[in-house]
Amino acid sequence: MNEKYLVFEVYHDHIKLVSKGKWILETIRHIENILQSIPSDKKIIWDVSGVSEFDSAGILLFIEYLNYFEAQSKVKVTGYTSKQKEMYDLLKKQHKSKKTIHAYQESTLERIGKKTIHIYDDTKEMLRFFGELFSNLFYTILHPKEFRYKEMVYHIYHSGFSALMIVAITTFLVGMVIAYQGSVQLAKFGADIFIVDTVGISIVRELGPMITAIVIAGRSGSAYTAEIGAMKITEEISAMRTMGFDPYSFLVLPRIVALMIALPLLIFFADIVGIFGGMFASRMQLGISIEQFVNRLYEVLEVKHYILGMIKGPVFAFLIAAVGCFRGFQVSQNTESIGLHTTQSVVNSIFLVIAFDALFSVIYTELDL
Amino acid sequence: MSVIEAKDIITKFDTRTIHDHVNFSINENEIYAIIGESGSGKSVLMKEMIMLASPTAGHINILGQNLQHITPRKAQELRRNWGVLFQFGALFSSLTIAENIELQLKEYTNISKKMRDKLVYSKLELVGLESYAGKLYPSELSGGMIKRAALARALAMDPKLLFLDEPTSGLDPIGARNFDQLIVNLRDLLGITVVMITHDLDSMFSIVDRMAVLADKHVVAEGTLENVLQSQHPFVEAFFKNEYTKQRFKGKIKDVQ
Ligand SMILES: Nc1ncnc2c1ncn2[C@@H]1O[C@H](COP(=O)(O)OP(=O)(O)OP(=O)(O)O)[C@@H](O)[C@H]1O
Ligand SMILES: [Mg+2]
């Protein structure tokens, strides 16, 4: 079928190329394939009189290969129409002035360099963000009247209260899973009742805070980034600045404080629901009655475990909200960057939550808590 | 008396120089236009005037304050003395139009809610919006209505200075002329000084008192239309003295030459 566009015959001292049919966007892919297969060591006579239709892509292809052939040997073009010549001249000018830009291949070293600079810039921006944040925080502590209580309440509702359901379901399931898995092992030793210790302590100390924080990072951290990012794109942040409203005290602080209040409360709630989950599974699997469970829980679950778990709440909340806002401010003037930064915000905050959880574990162990 | 004075502004992004010794001054109570090609740095210059960005070097004086050495408190005071109309409105999308206009009144004054509502609706009327628009969200307005609502918000605190970024772009010709008339009325009525970026020839020929032409990284011509038309700079030639403008604004251009 390619015969339709281009045929060539090789003679002993020259090659005859005959173009015909449509040289347009839809066909040039086929034509280029044939052109590539043409040997260019002999003089070429290129007859274009058979071309019935052409567009700028067709002519560009022609120019491209004409240049290529000319570089190797002599070329003679015959049979072009005046219209073709006009378009040829127009495109030829552009073609000369702008060399074809070859896809630029970055070297490894260059990539490392760029990445390093990116990390350096990112760090600088982060330091700036936290600098502004803390100066604002201290100012607000000294001038508590200027704190945006209304916004804070709004965010407590949206990041805290509205998340109750999802936090409940998640931790209930986690509590159940722990109890199921534990009971299989403990039943082997006939130590059924120890399931209460396992569930109670692991939920309250570790899983409750961590699972809740991860859910909230995915839910509110991402929302903060997207909200602030969108405001940046529509220049609402600039507008705020020109009106004398500082975005840190209007947008960042209320969100951070709201989450620092809401997350511990959510963790408290998650602890209870998680233990319920464990209780439910123990009853199904091991036949431990609710009364037995509660009595045992009362004996083994010291208040200290509960407090140690709770302390993590405000820290996780600060990390999630601060990262969410920080990434939001990094959004630049295009919509794609909202998605990019939202993803980054969630990944960062979940990582930070897990890393800080590990840090807490080390500290607690070192302190024999 | 000059309200705004810019001296030797230099702006660089990385190694690219946008402004190279830009100078101009804006007098009280005049409508001052900044014109120039796309990408010549008009919006950046405006951002530097309203303290959203700062120049690499140079001084800007506004209402007697040097922006380079301003204390946060003074800066805050200054911000209450100007209103800014962004090119795309930049209305707060989570608030209704009325709430948008009301916001600064609520923050900075202690007037009663009833009084605030009255003020809000008087501003809406001033810019020619029906009062029902106050209850709508920005996403529910047309492009022209957004411009008007944003202007109403910029006027909320009765500013001394009004910055407008391409106020008539995206408006229909009739709407654009009405908007021009509105700006003149505001200037006459409230005695404000208007700084605007514009590409709109009609505005330049009808309402602008003085203008600065930004090209080749600096101000190549400044002054009244007559003064500017005397410039031989290629941009001025191309912008004002092409066949179309010669035809359209026959009287005005001939007067000068
Ligand atoms: N944040 C930035 N970082 C890098 N370069 C920028 C930035 N902001 C603006 N520029 C550059 O500064 C130059 C001037 O931009 P500016 O937006 O002021 O143009 P303009 O005169 O307002 O144009 P238009 O009439 O199209 O609005 C452009 O070349 C632009 O690429
Ligand atoms: Mg602009």
B93:A236 CB<8 A: yes
Final residue belonging to a domain, choices A68, A97, A126: A97
**Does residue B31 sit within a domain?**
yes
Give the percent of chain A with pLDDT over 90: 54
A235:B88 CB<8 A: yes
B44 lines ligand 1 (CB under 6 A): yes
Other C-beta atoms lying within 10 Å of the C-beta of residue B51 = 17
Number of domains in chain B: 1
pLDDT at A95: 67
**Is the predicted pLDDT of residue A44 greater than 90, yes or no?**
no
* Contact residues on chain B for A230, CB-CB shorter than 8 A: 93
Closest CA to ligand 1's atom 1: B13
pLDDT at A361: 92
The mean pLDDT value for A254-266 works out to: 95
The mean pLDDT value for A343-349 works out to: 95
**Does residue A51 sit within a domain?**
yes
**Is the predicted pLDDT of residue A363 greater than 70, yes or no?**
yes
Cα distances (Å, whole numbers) of residue B108 to A148, A243, A244, B98, B201: 14, 10, 10, 16, 38
Q: How many residues does chain A have?
A: 369
Angle at B181 between CA B177 and CA B187, to 5 degrees: 145
Please write the tens of the pLDDT for every residue from B228-240. Answer: 888 888 888 888 8
Mutate-to-test residue for ligand 1 from B11, B16, B17, B18, highest number of ligand atoms within 8 A of CB:
B18
**Does residue A122 sit within a domain?**
no
Q: Which atom of ligand 1 is nearest to the CA of B16?
A: 5
pLDDT at B60: 92
B43 lines ligand 1 (CB under 6 A): yes
Judge if A220 and A348 occupy the same domain: yes
pTM of the shown model: 0.77
> If you write DSSP's letter for every residue of A70-135 in order, what string do you get?
HHHS-EEEE---HHHHHHHHHHHHHHHHSPPPPPPPPPHHHHHHHHHHHHHHHHHHHHHHHHHHHH
Final residue belonging to a domain, choices A56, A72, A97: A97
* Average of per-residue pLDDT values in chain A: 89
For residue B127, the Cα-to-chain-centroid distance in whole angstroms is 15
**Does residue A142 sit within a domain?**
no
* SS3 of residue A243 by DSSP: coil
Domain encompassing residue A61? 6-97
Amino acid type, A174:
V
pLDDT at A345: 95
pLDDT at A127: 95
pLDDT at A99: 55
B11 lines ligand 1 (CB under 6 A): no
Least confident segment among A57-61, A317-321, B81-85, B207-211: A57-61
- Residue of A231, A239, A244 with shortest CB distance to B86: A239
Please write the tens of the pLDDT for every residue from A219-250. Answer: 999 999 999 999 999 889 999 999 989 999 99
**Is the predicted pLDDT of residue B151 greater than 80, yes or no?**
yes
**Does residue B230 sit within a domain?**
yes
* Average of per-residue pLDDT values in chain B: 88
Please write the tens of the pLDDT for every residue from B7-21. Answer: 999 999 988 999 999
Amino acid type, B207:
I
B160 lines ligand 1 (CB under 6 A): no
Q: Which two tokens stand for residue B148?
A: 């008007």
Judge if A81 and A192 occupy the same domain: no
Other C-beta atoms lying within 10 Å of the C-beta of residue A342 = 22
* Contact residues on chain A for B79, CB-CB shorter than 8 A: 242-244
Chain A residue set in contact with B, beta carbons under 8 Å: 230-231, 234-236, 238-239, 241-245
Judge if A322 and A260 occupy the same domain: yes
Final residue belonging to a domain, choices A57, A80, A97: A97
Q: For residue A131, what are the contacts with CB-CB under 8 A and spacing of at least 6?
A: none
Least confident segment among A78-92, A304-318, B115-129, B217-231: A78-92
**Does residue A241 sit within a domain?**
yes
**Does residue A136 sit within a domain?**
no
B90:A241 CB<8 A: no
pLDDT at A236: 92
pLDDT at B182: 86
pLDDT at B235: 87
Read off the CATH number of the domain in which B34 is found: 3.40.50.300
pLDDT at A55: 84
Q: Is B184 exposed, middle or buried (0-12, 13-18, 19+ CB in 10 A)?
A: middle
Read off the CATH number of the domain in which A76 is found: 3.30.750.24
Is the model more confident about A19 or about B249? Answer: A19
Judge if A198 and A277 occupy the same domain: yes
pLDDT at A102: 66
Closest CA to ligand 1's atom 24: B38
Contact criterion met (CB below 8 Å) for A31 and A8: no
ipTM: 0.81
Closest CA to ligand 1's atom 30: B39
A238:B104 CB<8 A: no
pLDDT at B164: 92
Domain encompassing residue B242? 1-81+162-169+192-257
Number of domains in chain A: 2
pLDDT at A229: 94
